[in-house]
Structure 1
């Protein structure tokens, strides 16, 4: 980097320390708040959303205007767009989250014969960072999940969604926290959208030990590499793209329905991206599949391909409305393609034969696998009834797939005399 870049990076690190320190100070109030107060704050966010819709939609309109001027693709503009319907859905998700019981703090692991009991205790991480793509609803998803798990947060998005995200924070999140008696500083929004602030977010292990990374594959992988060098742990959602394999003994109407359902939104990670047709029925299926795709305005990429078979079209601003079609020899071959040539996000098998389905399901190692169901279901709210912070694709122990507030904790073992486990001493322990 040049001297000027060094100065900007130093300034970004200083600013990020301020954000993280403010969030950490807000944790003291959050730590002593009751579950009811946490849930009241979430409900107040849901109540405020429709009452400030005008301000939110106006800010979003400015974001959309800038996105159109910058040449952002229609698919990415759709991800960025807020509507009354989407605001109502966001409010409903907040109400749902508020109604979900809080996980018990302590769970009995073992009552030992020596008079001691081993407990597993859930502890908040502290302040969690998050870097995410131009989707304003993610601002609220992250803020609500962090609040429910009693963690602070430092949120950073790109310039495309910054006005919308700032409006959500100032009009919804901060007032709801303040009205509940919680410190609004506990959730911070970074207003700098340059790459220096992104690098700073993953460079402060003492203040931000964990950072959630969402966005395009190259940028997220780059930030993950920087985080690793600084000792910052990440939960990364770098790549996506759903796979649909049509095996033997298929029902053609189900095939066509799942193709349509998998393409209802083109700018999302779990949309249909790669369509594999079993070699035994490839020639028979292809004409109908092509008609369905073309009727939906989707271009068909047929072999031989000039791109990797798992190329993620949703990240291609000019060609998002594309699906790759190819042949697979059998369920094991299809699973191997999905495992080795795609992100490992999600795959589905379409067949009426349980043996075919079982072979594919058992061989696929990604975060979610479906039988006669769309990969669009691999979503926190659709799958678990909860907003998500992202979909973690890591191949290591830990939360994998849609990550929710239930996953944002540290495990601690506590050993106490067994007599102290009785309800009279410790009524909240789960056996």
Structure 2
């Protein structure tokens, strides 16, 4: 075994050894740990921010794009937001660990028990806040974790683990080894993480495009399950019944950050109203410093601009003849993350909702709302786009369990 794979396996074994400490912890201890993480984020903020400044400076010297630098950066405001999310998670209700389902013949009853997975892996890139997001979700769901991030964010992630997560777990009487951070920057570490089904049977994959899809395929070869978030890009369809001022607001609100998956990526405008709304659309784009990519396009219509460091300040714009064409494009030529309709026609909105098969669908609302905290008031581990039964959309602590059926005397 090479040194990188060995390091990942050692982390996995340490988390598995410590997992029972979390699985058997009281709800009060778990919430105390989360609350302590929030307090330590504040009390140790300068330590965290110093490590993050070093990561950002190095990344800037190496030519990282503005969008990726934005993801990498922890500001005072963002750190305060992270702490507030932890406090809210600490106060969120725990999942019922046992639910009565039905009575059976012979004086028996059926109960559904919810059990932790055990140890869950997570691979993510230059987003240090995800370290806290995922660690906290795993703790709340009683799962151990093995986290792996790229070289750009590793310094920040290590400081978050050492100064915030681990001490908070220890203070609450939980074995701090239950959350591990892989100390290697090599890409091979990600492949190693998805190849340990007996230790880490489920891995959360958050990343960009091809690399994340490749990891999901590698995981499948080893019998490791994944919750993958490889692609994004929000769609907005401007219907013939749209209010032009609302369209302007939706376009602007959907582009407040360009390096995120749920931003406006593709704008489809009904031909009948194109000329009427276009001046307001261009005004909103200009306000955000975003350029339209107009027909004829030299790229796939669903191309995700957030992943393009040279052209991320771009939105694809296309005319469509009707709602059915817009739905077909959103379903067949985009990632299926999220799509919205701008219209005052309720029947059109209903038809759009019925036709679109993606993860999130919106009526006169921005796709930026497809986010665990904005929708569900708790942080997310990622957004799962699977087209199969299971957790879909923002995945939170409420999804990270195994179902077990138990039959016992009534």
TM-score tier, shorter chain, comes to: over 0.9
Deviation of 1:28 after TM superposition, in Å, equals: 1.9
Q: Does 1:195 align with 2:187?
A: yes
CA RMSD after TM alignment: 0.9
In structure 2, C-alpha distance between the alignment counterparts of 1:173 and 1:295, rounded to whole Å: 40
Q: CA deviation at 1:32?
A: 1.8
Counterpart of 2:251 in structure 1 is 259
Please tell me whether the aligned partners of residues 245 and 280 of structure 2 are also in contact (alpha carbons under 8 angstroms).
no
* Residue 55, structure 1, aligned to residue 14, structure 2: no
Confirm or deny: 8 A CA contact 2:7 2:183 kept in the other structure.
no
Structure 1 position 98, deviation (Å): 0.5
**Which aligned pairs between 1:289-300 and structure 2 lie closer than 5 A?**
289-300=281-292
Contact 2:7/2:184 (<8 A) preserved = no
Matches within 5 A, 1:127-276: 127-276=119-268
Maintained 8 Å contact 2:269/2:320: yes
Q: Is the 8 A contact 1:272 1:323 kept in 2?
A: yes
1:398 paired to 2:354? no
How far, CA to CA, are the matches of 2:284 and 2:37 in structure 1? 41
Deviation at 1:299, TM superposition (A): 1.1
- Distance between the aligned counterparts of 2:163 and 2:43, measured in 1? 9
Give the CA deviation at 1:211. Answer: 0.5
Pairing partner for 1:33 from 25, 28, 42: 25
The residue that corresponds to 1:125 in the other structure is 117
- Equivalent in the alignment of 1:3: none
Rounded to whole Å, the distance in 1 between the matches of 2:340 and 2:85 is 26
87, 93, 97: which is aligned to 1:101?
93
Tell me the SS of whatever aligns to 2:256.
coil
- The 4+ residue runs of structure 1 with deviation greater than 6 A are none
Kept in 1: contact 2:4–2:186 (CA 8 A): no
Deviations 1:142-193 (A, max 9, x none): 0000000000000001111111111110110011011111111000001111
Tell me if the contact between 1:248 and 1:356 (Cα under 8 Å) persists in the aligned partners: no
Q: Which residue of 2 aligns with 1:354?
A: 346
Shift of 1:67: 1.2
Any idea what the Cα deviations from partners look like across 1:201-222, whole Å, max 9, x if unmatched? 1111111110000101100011
Question: Which residue is equivalent to 1:424?
Answer: none
Partner of 1:129, secondary structure, is strand
SS state at 1:280 partner: coil
Q: Give, in whole Å, the separation in 2 of the partners of 1:226 and 1:49.
A: 35
Partner residue in 1 for 2:355: 363
Distance 1:380 1:399 in 2: 12
Match of 1:376 in 2: 368
CA displacement at 1:285 relative to structure 2:
2.0
SS in 2 for 1:256: helix
Could you tell me how far apart the structure 2 residues matched to 1:67 and 1:335 are? Answer: 39
Q: Distance in 2 between matches of 1:325 and 1:315?
A: 18
The answer to whether structure 1 residue 321 and structure 2 residue 276 are counterparts is: no
Structure 1: gaps spanning 5 or more residues: 1-6, 419-431
**Offset of residue 295 of structure 1:** 2.5
- Give CA deviations for 1:279-329 in whole Å, capped at 9, x if unaligned: 111222223212220232101100100000000000001111110000122
The residue number in structure 2 matching 1:425 is none
- 2:6 is paired with a residue whose SS is helix
TM-score, structure 2 as length reference: 0.99
CA contact (8 A) 1:294 1:300 kept: no
SS of corresponding position for 2:272: helix
* CA distance in 1: counterparts of 2:168 and 2:229, whole angstroms: 29
Partner Cα separation in structure 2 for residue 20 and residue 80 of structure 1:
26
Of 32, 38, 45 in structure 1, the residue corresponding to residue 37 of structure 2 is: 45
Q: Whole-Å Cα distance in 2 between the matches of residues 388 and 295 of structure 1?
A: 30
Gaps of 5+ in 2: none
Q: TM-score, normalised by structure 1?
A: 0.94
Measured in 2, the distance between the counterparts of 1:248 and 1:114 equals: 62
Contact between 1:37 and 1:180, CA under 8 Å: does it hold in 2? yes
Decide whether the 8 Å contact of 1:143 with 1:187 is kept in 2.
Answer: yes
1:335 alignment partner, one of 327, 338, 361:
327
**Separation in 1 of the partners of 2:33 and 2:136?**
9
Q: Which residue of 2 aligns with 1:385?
A: 377
1:249 Cα deviation after fit:
1.4
Match of 1:426 in 2: none
Separation in 1 of the partners of 2:27 and 2:5? Answer: 34
Alignment partner of 1:141: what SS? helix
CA distance in 2 between partners of 1:136 and 1:223 (Å): 20
How far 1:11 sits from its partner (Å)? 2.3
**Stretch deviating more after TM superposition (395-404 or 281-290):** 281-290
Q: Match for residue 404 of structure 2?
A: 412
